[in-house]
């Protein structure tokens, strides 16, 4: 990815790596703050809440408690979907 960004933007690989790292850090901090990140034509990153639940342990059949948690989610935009499967 870094190589492709460097070539397309006519910048060095180091500059491309810093730009990509800054973008990813921005998405991560936005999601951690409960904000949604939308990239027009690409998709939306957001956070969904999973409730606590009890499941069966496949090794011994006993119950396991899974705690409630926040999970990142990505929904692809129609443009991205159609680019992959025309």
pLDDT tens string 25-49? 999 999 999 999 999 999 999 999 9
Cα 30 to Cα 10: distance, rounded to the nearest angstrom: 28
- 32-to-8, 44, 48, 62 alpha-carbon distances in Å: 30, 15, 11, 33
- For 45, the token pair is 């990153």
Contact predicate 51/67, CB 8 Å: no
In this structure, are 41 and 83 located in the same domain? yes
Percent of the chain with pLDDT over 70: 100
Average predicted confidence (pLDDT) for the chain: 95
**pLDDT digits 0-9 by tens, 43-67:** 999 999 999 999 999 999 999 999 9
- Average pLDDT of 12-30? 97
Contact predicate 50/68, CB 8 Å: yes
In this structure, are 12 and 40 located in the same domain? no
In this structure, are 56 and 86 located in the same domain? yes
Domain membership of residue 65 as a residue range: 36-86
Q: Count of domains in the chain?
A: 2
86 pLDDT higher than 90: no
In this structure, are 23 and 61 located in the same domain? no
In this structure, are 19 and 59 located in the same domain? no
């Amino acid at each position: 990815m870094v190589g492709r960004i460097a070539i397309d933007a006519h910048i060095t690989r180091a500059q491309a790596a810093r730009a990509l790292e800054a973008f990813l850090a921005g998405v991560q901090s936005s999601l951690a703050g409960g904000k949604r990140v939308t990239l027009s034509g690409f998709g939306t990153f957001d956070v969904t809440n999973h409730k606590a639940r009890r499941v069966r342990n496949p090794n011994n059949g006993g119950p396991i408690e899974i705690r409630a948690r926040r999970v990142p989610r990505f929904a692809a935009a129609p443009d991205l979907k159609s680019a992959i499967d025309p």
